[in-house]
Structure 1
Amino acid sequence: MGKQTGGNGTLGNHTITQIGLLVHDIEAVSAAYAQFFGVEKPNWFWTDTVDKAQTELRGESTEARAKLAFFDMGSLQLELIEPDHNPSTWREHLDQHGEGIHHIAFGVEGMKERIAAMEKGGMKLIQKGEYTGGRYAYLDTFGPLKVMLELLENDK
């Protein structure tokens, strides 16, 4: 097994910070997880509107929004996502594959450079947007990695 250091590799780290699950009913699923883990049910909230989020799907602006709820699981965050009807990777994936895992996420620095390096390796940017305090990007890593990766960059 190779030596694992923080600075190597395409992302600059190998710490999974989040697993994202797509759901049809965020109320029901967050209640089920809360009961299962014996924790308080988190409140869900809508992602920002396109004017704030600057959401793009395959380079085109989209009005897509989603309801999100988060469970903090120690070193990992579980994200529940219930997308609206507008075009998004969330909507496409839910329609094609049903409920379940959508992505695993990593925190990065230098989002533009990370995306460029990944695209050079054939992993195309699918969707990106802004959130209060940072930005996200989903890349098509299904071929080599068998799951979609999300990059999260928080402002310092």
Structure 2
Amino acid sequence: MKRNLSFILIATVICIIMTSSVPSKKVDALIQNHKMAQVAIVVKDIDKARRNWAMVLGMDLPEVSVAKSHPSRPTKFKGTPSSAEAKLAFFNLENIQIELIQPLGGKSTWQEFLDTKGEGIHHIAFMVKGIDGLEKRFEMQGMPTDQNGGWDGGAYSYINAMQMLGCELELLENYGSN
């Protein structure tokens, strides 16, 4: 009898230990998608940067596009409308996208980063759903929106997570994928 009771006790403890060590996804996580979509680098000269990255990666030079405010979701920097523009170039790797950003003018998180820190990694990005609600949830956690805006079929939001996470986060939402 003692032997059976000891066995049951040991088996119970083992089950508790095994189930408590299994990582679980928190339902209330701010970011549900745990696959990073992008790393972005702010640069002074996008042509030089894309040539260097193309050489390092052994890839063709990507096209350069210009990001501007969009009428469906105008650009705002720290809550104020902004005429911010930037040149963008993208390297699509197997597991992540590298975005190069050269600010062209107007108040923006890109220009602020370049002015205060110089060239470097500006943000990491995640694909999300319900971007407006997420901005509010991040704000409630002490991480305000630095800049947001949109494009045909999507929206972006830069969350200032420097104090909490040591980096800026970008939330990306493609409306067609919802």
TM range (shorter): over 0.9
**More helix as a share of residues:** 2
CA contact (8 A) 1:7 1:13 kept: no
- Report the Cα distance in structure 2 between the residues aligned to 1:2 and 1:148, rounded to whole angstroms: 29
Deviates more, 1:44-53 or 1:55-64: 44-53
TM-score (norm 2): 0.82
In angstroms, what is the RMSD of aligned CA positions?
1.7
- The share of aligned pairs that are identical, in percent, is 36
What corresponds to 1:121 in structure 2?
141
The residue correspondences of 1:1-156 to structure 2 (distance < 5 A) are 3-5=23-25, 9-49=29-69, 51=71, 54-156=74-176
Unaligned runs of 5+ in 1: none
Q: Is the 8 A contact 1:5 1:13 kept in 2?
A: no
Structure index of larger Rg: 2
C-alpha distance in structure 2 between counterparts of 1:73 and 1:132, whole Å? 24
Question: What's the TM-score, normalizing by structure 1?
Answer: 0.93
Question: What is the CA–CA distance in structure 1 between the aligned matches of 2:55 and 2:26, rounded to whole Å?
Answer: 36
Farther-moved stretch of structure 1 (47-56 vs 10-19): 47-56
1:53 CA drift (Å): 5.3
1:84: how far off? 1.1
Query: Cα–Cα, structure 1 residues 112 and 137, in superposed 2: closer, same or farther, change >3 Å?
Result: same
Aligned residues: 156
What residue ranges of structure 2 are gaps of 5+ in the alignment?
Answer: 1-20
Amino acid at match of 1:11: I
**Distance (whole Å) between structure 2 residues aligned to residue 153 and residue 89 of structure 1:** 19
- Aligned mates of 1:112, 1:125 — CA distance in 2: 10
2:68–2:83: 8 Å Cα contact kept in structure 1? no
Answer 1 or 2: higher relative contact order, Cα 8 Å, separation at least 6: 1
